[in-house]
Amino acid sequence: MNPIFSAIVFTTVWATTQTEILMVSPLAKIRAMNSHSATGTEATTDTTEAETDRALGDRLVKGKLPNELLFVPDFDFSEQSFQKFVQKYLGKVPLQKTLKQPHDFLKLLGAVIEQEDREPYLSLLVDKTHSLPQNYAPKDLVPLKNYPMLKLAGKELQLRAPVIPDLLKMNEAAKADGVSLSLGSAYRSFSYQFDVFRHYVGREGLHAANRYSAKPGKSQHQLGLALDFFPISQAFAGTAAGNWLLANALQYGFSLSYPEGREATTGYIYEPWHYRYVGPLIAKLIALYFQGSQQEFFSFWNQAAAELKQHYIPESKRS
């Protein structure tokens, strides 16, 4: 067993919050009872305590681990099964971080599971090998021209309603820093993307087009969550807006989809202008555990979510 791992888990993690201290208490009670019988002292007839112990015994008989032996309250992982799980799904760097902060990592993942019930599209992977159906079109698209404070460089731009509040906040924050954000492209339907891709193929050929433009069904723009800032060109990287977004967008739930030097992972050349809204929760996971790589988070989630959900204990079922 990794010594750092066990030290962190059994000292820092368990002992730092009130909830966790409370969760350790049944074990302390058992120890106390054992020491009573060893010294011949009468155990108290506290009914609450007796009930707790009976319940604990029942759970042990059924083969389910009692809470104090669980790794975190929100999942039924043991230290060992958690280690196995992350080793199966994570690359080396995120693996080390999650083993150092297993509790924080799992807390965020538990929140993404809850979020997925309400807003499944936020954690939906769309890339070169994961497509949306031709008829996928969000029902809550909002025209950006409804918001006069936004600077629009494209026609008839629309995004999903849940993106708007954070987009407005980000726009305000940029303005306060003296930076003007201009929006060039937002939601694109399957058929619109078909035309876009065909246009690029006609101009530069399939191979070149495929490095910077998505085939229809494989575009994040079809989700209604992706935004291209203006100008849509490599030159955007050197602009005040490009730099400001690199440093700040994640705080507002927007993640750079195709970072520099990651073509082997993402399938696309550096697109300094293209951001996907992932929401604050996933943005935090990307920043803390996935080295800022949206693709790595989504690939992980896409592969691991089903198994993770089998280990998840919803709040209502936690004892």
Instruction: List contacts with Zn ion (CB under 5 A).
Output: 228, 274
**Residue holding tokens 């555990």?**
289
Q: How far is the CB of 54 from Zn ion (least distance, A)?
A: 60
Q: How far is the CB of 226 from Zn ion (least distance, A)?
A: 5
CA nearest 177: which of 272, 228, 241, 238? 241
Nearer to Zn ion, 75 or 197 (CB): 197
Q: How far is the CB of 240 from Zn ion (least distance, A)?
A: 20
Nearer to Zn ion, 166 or 228 (CB): 228
Burial tier of 294 (Cβ tally within 10 Å: 0-12, 13-18, 19+): buried
Nearer to Zn ion, 75 or 268 (CB): 268
Nearer to Zn ion, 112 or 196 (CB): 196
CB-CB contact of 297 with 285 (8 Å): yes
CB-CB contact of 308 with 85 (8 Å): yes
Nearer to Zn ion, 77 or 268 (CB): 268
CB-CB contact of 91 with 291 (8 Å): no
Return left, alpha or beta for 279; rule: phi > 0 is left, psi -120 to 50 is alpha, else beta: left
Q: How far is the CB of 121 from Zn ion (least distance, A)?
A: 17
CB-CB contact of 202 with 240 (8 Å): no
- How far is the CA of 160 from the CAs of 17, 135, 141, 282, 308, in angstroms? 38, 16, 4, 17, 28
Polymer length in residues for the chain: 319
Nearer to Zn ion, 229 or 289 (CB): 229
The C-alpha atoms of residue 123 and residue 116 are separated, in whole angstroms, by 7
CB-CB contact of 183 with 144 (8 Å): yes
Nearer to Zn ion, 56 or 157 (CB): 157
Burial tier of 195 (Cβ tally within 10 Å: 0-12, 13-18, 19+): exposed
The C-alpha atoms of residue 3 and residue 275 are separated, in whole angstroms, by 40
Q: How far is the CB of 254 from Zn ion (least distance, A)?
A: 12
Q: How far is the CB of 184 from Zn ion (least distance, A)?
A: 9
Q: How far is the CB of 22 from Zn ion (least distance, A)?
A: 48
Q: How far is the CB of 234 from Zn ion (least distance, A)?
A: 13
Nearer to Zn ion, 23 or 183 (CB): 183
Nearest residue to Zn ion, using CB? 274
Nearer to Zn ion, 160 or 274 (CB): 274
Burial tier of 63 (Cβ tally within 10 Å: 0-12, 13-18, 19+): exposed
Pairing type for strands 254-256 and 226-229 reads: unpaired
Q: How far is the CB of 273 from Zn ion (least distance, A)?
A: 7
